[in-house]
Structure 1
Amino acid sequence: MTVHATPRPAIAARRFTLATDLDGTFLGGSEEERKTLYDWIEANRDTVGLIFVTGRDPEFIMEMCREQGLPWPEYVVGDVGTTIAHVRDDGHVEPIPALEADIAERWGDKGNAVRATLDGISGLTLQPTPFRYRVSYDLTPNAYDATAEVLVEELGLDWLISDNRYFDVLPKGVSKGPSIKRLIAHLGIPETRVLCAGDTMNDLSMLISGLPAVAVGNSEAPLKQRLYGRDTVYHATGFGAAGILEAINALDLHDAPTHAAVPASNLALKGA
């Protein structure tokens, strides 16, 4: 299977690159809205680059592309920023060692220490996937013991709660924002040609990174609150895929299908 079947210009030479979260963002909105976005990307691959920036692991991402017909990304920032990888023509994800070395050093092989330290903490259920540079839990809000946060900090690591149901333990200073900026710099993509899109708190660091960004209309309330007043962030009314298209048009990043009227309150961001 060849996933990038036709030759394309280098991603840095394209007019626009979408760096998008998956759940609730690229996968959000109605079936019709998703199809409109996906078909537009496929019809414009010479001028549109695609990077997935997600909490999901690479194998899950590739399975989604194979089985659900998503446009294949050219690069992936996965595992909440702890994986930075290229998508090969055969559909396999290949980590970029030069970009992951610092992440591995910051993690310091602390997975076993994290699991032992948080074992038995109320409200956390360990996820079975063997991530390389993170440990992740399902979180039960009404049973959660916030002592977990202190314990993680004592290990010299970061913690992140998103969608009020996930608890991630990450290397210090590593998350979606720093990793997407590192990848964009490595590829030579002008920052003004990028749009970061997200909907939950694990997208916060990406959306406040200074890159052009959109919080789609279905974003969780805590994220919207943290983004208030940020002049690089467009607040879409459209959900998921529709919100992405809305922002592309509002910020003049590319000619794209129009799905929703741009709210007057957002017009001040035009050209940001």
Structure 2
Amino acid sequence: MKAPLNLVLATDLDGTFLGGTEAERRALYQELDARDDVLLIFVTGRDRDFIRELVETPGMPRPRYVIGDVGTSVFDGDTFQPIPTLEADIVSRWNDAGPRVREMLSAEPGLRPQPTPFRHRVSYYYDPEQLQPRTVARIEEAGFDCVLSADTYLDVLPRGIAKGPTLLRLVHALGLPAERVLTAGDTMNDLSLFQTGLRGVAVGNAEPRLVAALDALPPEQARLIHRPRAEGAAGIADAIRHFSLLPEAVA
């Protein structure tokens, strides 16, 4: 009989699950891999090909589910196939808007298209010195959401779609215990995770804009967010202990 879930870890990758020292990562990964009461979900801006290669790295835990592309795709972690029931609303809201978005932004200063082909978003590298406020306003006026993160990435997303809403959809659809979910992140594209009403950890290396945004959260949301000094994987381990989500604390 399968053990009941004590921890559903829904974690960003770069700077978060992949952050910290090698020893800190190894300790967390080994603990998670050794337990049958943990369900791992990657919630990332990365695409499917990157994650497929990542899980082949020796010692890397395999997620049961993947929310990729800043919340605009949902994959089975075993087969890496999309889950149509969880993507249906995303597909509908995006409505094959990629070509229209790229045309709309083709002459905007400070933007450089990311080379990866995305299914339900358009993404750029941006130069903070050149990006114009009118560019963000133009995206939003056209009916999309715009997320800036790490002073590097600009994502054009379907309105209302982000990491947090997609995670909530998955949690509800699968009947996962919301009180055992821990979200983890470090940049502004993780902010929506911390607005879900689920427990969260903003690791110690979180970008300043995310820290400022967390400071502005309503008290009922802010009290659910642990903000350790420890960075990356060590910060996640600290939060697991802080919220007592496993019977034995992660080392």
Q: Secondary structure at the match of 1:217?
A: coil
The alignment status of 1:187 with 2:174, answered yes or no, reads: yes
Structure 2 CA distance, aligned partners of 1:69 and 1:130? 29
Structure 1 CA distance, aligned partners of 2:2 and 2:47? 27
Report if aligned partners of 1:238, 1:246 keep a CA contact under 8 Å in 2.
yes
Aligned to 1:251: 243
Q: Secondary structure at the match of 1:236?
A: coil
Aligned to 1:43: 34
Report if aligned partners of 2:30, 2:59 keep a CA contact under 8 Å in 1.
no
Aligned to 2:140: 153
- The number of residues matched between the two structures is 245
The alignment status of 1:16 with 2:16, answered yes or no, reads: no
> What is the deviation of 1:144?
1.5
1:107 to 81, 94, 111: 94
1:101-135 CA deviation, whole Å, 9 max, x = no partner?
Answer: 11011001110010001002111100111101000
Structure 2 CA distance, aligned partners of 1:69 and 1:131? 28
Task: Show structure 2 runs of 5+ residues with no match.
Answer: none
RMSD over aligned Cα atoms: 1.3
The alignment status of 1:237 with 2:237, answered yes or no, reads: no
The alignment status of 1:66 with 2:56, answered yes or no, reads: yes
> What is the deviation of 1:95?
1.1
Structure 1 CA distance, aligned partners of 2:2 and 2:80? 20
Report if aligned partners of 1:208, 1:233 keep a CA contact under 8 Å in 2.
no
Aligned to 2:44: 54
The alignment status of 1:119 with 2:106, answered yes or no, reads: yes
> What is the deviation of 1:68?
5.3
Return the letter of the residue paired with 1:239.
E
Return the letter of the residue paired with 1:48.
V
Aligned to 1:197: 184
TM-score, length of structure 1 as denominator length: 0.87
Report if aligned partners of 2:26, 2:59 keep a CA contact under 8 Å in 1.
no
Report if aligned partners of 1:40, 1:256 keep a CA contact under 8 Å in 2.
no
TM-score, length of structure 2 as denominator length: 0.94
Aligned to 1:3: none
